[in-house]
Structure 1
Amino acid sequence: MTTTNNELDTLRLEIDRLDAELLSVLEKRIAIVEHIAAAKSSDGKALAFRPGREASVLRNILSLHSSKLPAAVVAAIWRELISAVGGMQRPYSVSITAPDKSVGYWDLARFHFGSATPMKLHQLPSVVLREVSENPATLGVLPWLSRERDTWWQHLAQGGDNVPKILAALPFIDNPAGGFEDLSSLVIGQAEPEASGDDVTLLAVMTTSEPSRARLNEQLTKAGLPGFCSDSRPPDTKDGDWLHLIEIGEFISKSDPRLVTLGETIGESFIKTVILGAYAVPIK
């Protein structure tokens, strides 16, 4: 019994030592972040939210992880750290749309953005779109349950300096304990999307007439774009234009020459293409 107690005391002392070591390493990491924040103080960017970089970091951490600790727990630790230090560089808040299952949407956003990030809950996507458009320090979380039922993406298709872009998809990692399976959402904000190494780009293609989705898919293939048309919306007025939601299985920049080729392939009915944003492919 004495030997067992001595061993336990030794192990507990080792845990205390490791806790102190972890805290010391954490404080060193925070100090580096403060230097980065100082270097960025005059670059004009509104947010320290770097979804592509964050996705790459988390993928790397989970690839190195080998303990019995659940991957969702490891991800939660790093999400808390990433969100907190991002808020230290430039404070931001999150506005969430939750037409139903409000607690689930709230939990989904809280898991990703951490316990220290200010969040607000709204029933209507229009309120979130307005808040994000008016405040560059606000991110929005909008439901992405069914392309056929979601219309908020049409507001992003107008383009422009203050029009938000899609930046991330939630949940980024499955959490069996959270029940997020039916609550997939997209994050929008006044920032430029960035590549993570494994991404999906969302485009809006505007045409004067109604092409079939099958035809659009063929034209995407001819343009060398690995994607498909997931939704088409008719014009609101008699003289209006058709709007098509395109999903591409890689990161596409606005200068990609394949976008020009797509317009040429569509032909006379083509008006323009608008990049709605991109998101890192979630970890399953």
Structure 2
Amino acid sequence: MTTKEEKLLELRHEIDAVDRGLHDLIQRRTRIVEGVRDVKEGDDVKIRPAREARILYRLCEEHQGHFPKRELCRIWREMIVATLSFEGPFSVAVFHPDDTPGYWDLARDQYGTFTPMQRHGSARAVVEAVREHQATVGVLPFPSRDRDEPWWRFLVSDAPETPRVIVRLPFIPGSNTHDRDLDALVICPLPQEETGRDRSMLAVEAEEDIGYPAIENALSQAGFAAAFHQLWHDPSRPPGWTYLVEVFGFIGSESRQMSRLKDALGGRVSRIIQLGGYGTPLSERDLAPASPEE
């Protein structure tokens, strides 16, 4: 008759065998990533935030059993970031004011335990660090109507090296930051790619204050709705009003939807710039255990 100790030993041997199999698969995955690196040789930035988001969406949809989805996604985030380190240089510039240190925790959660990170006391310094390739990505506060510094205005440019919004944090609920209401955006000079669960950020420039309702109506005509908006106006400059609009869905810079939006606004605006966007973060519902019938 098998004793308790013998059964435990047998089960531990099974766990060890599974661990060796996992390790073998990680090494195999790494060799494949090295092939991807060789194919992408010459690309300035090698990260693919939309693909990373789709991987986690799929994991949450397909996962079964008692292992928690939150920790599963954390394992994959560490693995994704670890492979970035040998695809090319990778570092993070983080907005880190003395009164709100939590952005550092949000960045660390998303970009791994050992990734090099730099603290910056102003949002503009983060934007410039990314623009000048001193950091691969930057982490900045999510825009707020009562925030003194609308940093997103530094992204309102057609120049190819201008950073764009690529991720919203925390992507996995349950951040290590003490402020559970804190959220942030990640910037990098990459065009937005569609995930199927998107929000897009637009800057609408006008030479006069056209009012947000005009933009909201134009969005409706183009088949979209706004999730958030903010106005920036600098009276010391030539007349100019710039609206930041976060839109439900994906709007590419050269898409038909963008053309319809421009047509709906007509001559009231001077230009519309796509500032990037992101696949929506995982929700608590995404992380809930699968029901038995699933």
| Paired residue secondary structure (1:267) | helix
Distance 1:238 1:143, change over 3 A: closer
The whole-number CA distance in structure 2 between the counterparts of 1:238 and 1:94 is 32
Distance 1:238 1:23, change over 3 A: closer
Match of 2:107, as an amino acid? A
The whole-number CA distance in structure 1 between the counterparts of 2:196 and 2:114 is 28
Which of 47, 58, 78 matches 1:60? 58
TM-score, length basis structure 1: 0.92
The whole-number CA distance in structure 2 between the counterparts of 1:282 and 1:79 is 13
Match of 1:24, as an amino acid? D
**Stretches of structure 1 lacking an aligned partner (at least 5 in a row):** none
**Are residue 128 (structure 1) and residue 126 (structure 2) matched?**
yes
CA contact (8 A) 2:228 2:247 kept: no
The whole-number CA distance in structure 1 between the counterparts of 2:134 and 2:197 is 26
**Stretches of structure 2 lacking an aligned partner (at least 5 in a row):** 284-294
**Are residue 94 (structure 1) and residue 92 (structure 2) matched?**
yes
Offset, 1:276: 0.6
Offset, 1:178: 4.8
Which shifted more, 200-209 or 146-155?
Answer: 146-155
Distance 1:28 1:147, change over 3 A: farther
Which shifted more, 270-279 or 212-221?
Answer: 212-221
CA contact (8 A) 1:108 1:180 kept: no
Could you tell me which residue of structure 2 aligns to residue 35 of structure 1?
Answer: 35
Deviations, residues 56-109 of structure 1 (Å, cap 9, x unaligned): 001111212223232221111000001111221122100000224554221211
Deviations, residues 164-220 of structure 1 (Å, cap 9, x unaligned): 111111111201665453220000012222111111000000011112222221121
Match of 2:186, as an amino acid? V
Could you tell me which residue of structure 2 aligns to residue 69 of structure 1?
Answer: 67
The whole-number CA distance in structure 2 between the counterparts of 1:248 and 1:23 is 42
CA contact (8 A) 1:171 1:185 kept: yes
Match of 1:28, as an amino acid? R
Which shifted more, 185-194 or 174-183?
Answer: 174-183
Offset, 1:147: 3.9
Counting matched residue pairs gives 282
Could you tell me which residue of structure 2 aligns to residue 254 of structure 1?
Answer: 253
Offset, 1:11: 0.8
The whole-number CA distance in structure 1 between the counterparts of 2:74 and 2:96 is 22
Which of 116, 132, 138 matches 2:136? 138
